[in-house]
Amino acid sequence: MKLLVTGGAGFIGANFIHYWLKNHPNDHIVNFDKLTYAGHLSNLKNVENSPNYHFVQGDIVDKKSVEEVMSGIDTVIHFAAESHVDRSIADAYTFVMTNVVGTQVLLDSALKNNVKRFHHISTDEVFGALELGSDEKFNVNTIYDPHSPYAASKAGSDHLVRAYHDTYGLPITISNCSNNFGPYMHPEKLIPLAITNLIQGKKVPVYGDGKYVRDWLYVEDHCRAIEMILRNGKVGKTYLVGGQTEDISNLEVIKIILKIMNDTEESIKFVTDRKGHDRRYAIDWSVTKDELGWEPKYDFDTALNKTIEWYKNNEDWWKTLI
């Protein structure tokens, strides 16, 4: 099978490529990435000389480049996206162009080239926010209610993907995942920022009161979920992928990191909250478990320890990004 991975030099895309080549050595992957600030070929040094891996630099909004790279592809796994909420608040245009228009360009090309499966990676942020302390969780029937330009652009791309299935019969699947963490994550994000700051002896910034809740998903578990969706998922269906069953606040996450790294709470620095900051995300991934047999392999503490060790052992990688 020949796969096109968009955004494969980014955090989740690179982890997926590593995972897929390890577990499917007879498949061929084409990595199509623009190499923005969030995409780095250093993420893929271990596979760059593999005969089953090929990198093409390009932009998903460029129709000609997309047409060229789509030729002969069986399966598309679409990771490419602008994803940092703070950046979307400062520059919404770039997010709309990449996440909405870029997705539409890919869909057109996939349709033209008779791609057998187009799998679209999305986010739980399209559903908006939940109340702190409630038992409510996002599910596949939750009405879309995005609160940031990033979330709105991903919601738009989700709707386009479904429309191409309903209108043109393109064989698609979608997964809306929670907050990923693990190796190769850009140090602007909460968990790697905390880890790398502590390694450098800096304080860890925490927005507002720190009570914001996210459903944390270890990136390898996410890759396994995508694999199961591609193998056994129903065409046209959306699957939710989360990592936890109990709420944990951002402040609690930081305190766990501090404990693992033998630091104190004096290293916490509360900073001004960001605009439109969603209070709580939580995903009901029971349908994905019931239909596909997927569930996280790693508990949160184990995955967090693995992540901390990776950043400790790969300072040369992340120090070039800060």
Active site positions, annotated: 124-125, 150
Closest residue by Cα to residue 61 from 99, 12, 90: 99
DSSP bridge pairs for 117: 75
170: its two tokens: 């393109």
Closest residue by Cα to residue 69 from 29, 100, 104: 29
Helix or strand (DSSP H, E) at 28: strand 28-33
Cα of 273 vs its chain's centroid, Å: 23
d(CA 146, CA 309) in angstroms, rounded, equals: 34
Amino acid occupying residue 308: I
Q: Is the distance from CB of 105 to CB of 34 less than 8 angstroms?
A: no
Within 8 A by CB and 6+ apart from 130, the residues are: 136, 137, 138, 279, 280, 281, 282
3-state secondary structure (DSSP) of residue 273: coil
261: its two tokens: 């790294």
d(CA 158, CA 173) in angstroms, rounded, equals: 10
Residue with tokens 């923005």: 36
d(CA 222, CA 175) in angstroms, rounded, equals: 10
Write the CA distances from 210 to 205, 227, 252, 253, 304, integer angstroms: 10, 34, 8, 10, 18
d(CA 57, CA 273) in angstroms, rounded, equals: 36
